[in-house]
Amino acid sequence: MKDLLMLSPIWLSAMTGILVLVIDLLSARKAPRGFLGYVTAAGFAATGIAAVHYWNGSALEAPFLTGMLALDGFGAFFALLILLSGAAAALFAIDYLPQHGSDRGEYYALMAFSVCGALVFLTAVDLITMFLGLEIMSLSVYIMAAMKQSSARSTEAGMKYFILGGLASAFLLFGIAFLYGATGSLNMVEIGRYFLEHDPTRDYLFPQVAMILLVAALGFKVAAVPFHMWTPDVYDGAPTPVTVFMAGAVKAVGFAVLARLLLTVYQNPAFDEMPVSIPGLLLTLSILTMFVGNILGIVQTNVKRILAYSSITHAGYLLLGGYATMGVAGSSGASVLNDGVPFYLLTYVVSTVGAFGIVSLLGSRGEEDMSLDHIAGLGRRHPVLAALMLVCVLSLAGVPPLAGFMGKFFLFREVLAVDPNGNLPWVVIAVLNSFIAAYYYLRIAVYMYFREPGREPVSAIRGVPGYVCAGIAALLSIWIGLFPARYIAASQEVSRDSALVIATTGDVARPAASRSGKR
């Protein structure tokens, strides 16, 4: 019974999807399907409560799934981020889908299944379970991205995401195969233990190849730079509530899994001597991501694409946090995720969900044009939406005292705290990039408030759930910025859980003294 309760967030989200499907089947064919959005959101709320109640503070794995899932505080924190984005995506869709001629109940069911997959992906310890979770999440998102059948752009977005997502899944699986080849296990903890007990520097070919493949695969999911090509097109073409989910939940879960996987499997400090070391690779990706995301973001003239590049840039800052892992006291020398990262993800998810959500409310009756000219004069025509958008966008830009500023401030401070001298140049680069990024965020604000409406002024959807959601996102962006202490404390606790604890019998196998210092 305890096991069933521990697993409740996963089956609650799946049950939500099945319930939505059944209600959808029983409703009249022509009836509007908006009420299913509330059902989905309520299901996600129950899932969130269950996750916090059962997972928080427990490091216990459900015994009958021994070693398959780790249901702990780390899972609870990121589950909340996933559920927050999922619920927002369902609520924004209530008024969006009818306006865009795709009012289908399947959307809400797929959203619930996708969330279920994300939860499995997030908590998996067994690598095949992890792959299954990834596929459950991604397959649902591919379909949702192509949901707007009347729109060629939406279909295109679904197709592009499918092809590149499939590529990423194959990379992940090939990485898993190499880890299996090196250690004979498919369990993260077992693999980590094997590497701790056997000197990995003697034969590092398989772990090295596996590491590159895994980082590439998860890099796709979080839209880090060499793997970002799909991001603007897919974010732009997909129905905007789906973009909310992709930019919020998929990115958050991608980072959580990246952190847990790398920190657990590659726990042995000797791995730093691989030809391509993890910190080096993450740092390179981080700096590339920041610059490319910003430079391409500056030249965009479409609000959705600007926000897509903004989300790429944020992946860059987060990767910098991934690079600066923190040491913890312990014999194995294991390091944990920088404690700025979970908090940063929280501020990013809240603001980006708000921003994309508000974009979903602009443009009624199938309008897809989201150019800057389109939103010109929004401040005068729709003052409430414009004000909410301003808060979210300024928070993403990192203007004090909003959440985004606190997130950046805390992350950069913690990165510096790890290695004050060595990390200074990277933090300076990141701060410079936040200034560059301010340009395109402010551009949105300028167009909203200081430009005359164009020939085709924006017509916003009037719908209560969307406005309430946007309001909550904006309020949270202010609230977290003003009173961050609680969330920072939660973030510090979460990051301590990021590397799964491995009990080893003997001493950690380190490379022979003659080999160290070669780097």
Partner 1 sequence: MTGVPLSHFLVLAVALFTIGAVGVVTRRNALVALMSLELMLNGVNVAFLAFARWRGDALANAAVFIVMAVAAAEVAVGLALVIALFRHNRSVDLDEATRMKG
Judged by the rule CB under 8 A, the positions of this chain that interact with partner 1 are 128, 131-132, 135, 139, 142-143, 146, 149, 152-153, 155-160, 162-163, 166-167, 169-170, 173-174, 176-178, 180-181, 184-186, 229-230, 232-233, 236-237
**With respect to partner 1, which residue has the nearer C-beta, 173 or 442?**
173
- Give least dist CB 183 to partner 1, A: 9
> What gap in Å lies between CA 154 and CA 249, rounded to an integer?
20
Query: Shortest distance, CB of residue 233 to partner 1, whole angstroms?
Result: 4
Closest to partner 1 by CB, 152 or 464: 152
CB count in 10 Å sphere of residue 52: 16
**DSSP secondary structure, 298-334, as one string:** HT--BHHHHHHHHHHHHHHHHHHHHHS-EE-SSTT--
Rounded to the nearest whole angstrom, what is the least distance from the CB of residue 372 to partner 1 in the complex? 16
Judged by beta carbon, residue 298 or residue 417, the one nearer partner 1 is: 298
Q: How far is the CB of 309 from partner 1 (least distance, A)?
A: 11
* 115 backbone φψ class: left, alpha, beta (φ>0; ψ -120 to 50): alpha
59 or 152, CB closer to partner 1? 152
Smallest CA-to-CA distance from 426 within 335, 291, 310, 519 is with: 291
Backbone angles phi, psi at 198, to 5 degrees: -115, 135
Beta-carbon contacts of residue 355 (< 8 Å; ≥ 6 apart): 307, 389, 392, 393, 396
| Residue 213: count of CB within 10 angstroms of its CB | 21
Q: Closest separation between CB of residue 305 and partner 1, Å? A: 8
Choose between 95 and 106: whose C-beta lies nearer to partner 1. 106
Query: Cα separations (Å) of 152 from 162, 229, 353, 428?
Result: 15, 19, 25, 43
From the CB of residue 121, how many other CB atoms can be counted at a distance below 10 Å? Answer: 26
Counting DSSP H helices and E strands in the chain, the numbers are 21, 2
- Phi and psi dihedrals of 327, rounded to 5? -80, 150
Nearer to partner 1, 179 or 257 (CB): 179
Nearer to partner 1, 253 or 499 (CB): 253
CB of 401 to partner 1, least distance (A): 36
Say if residues 283 and 210 touch (Cβ distance below 8 Å).
Answer: no
Q: How far is the CB of 187 from partner 1 (least distance, A)?
A: 9
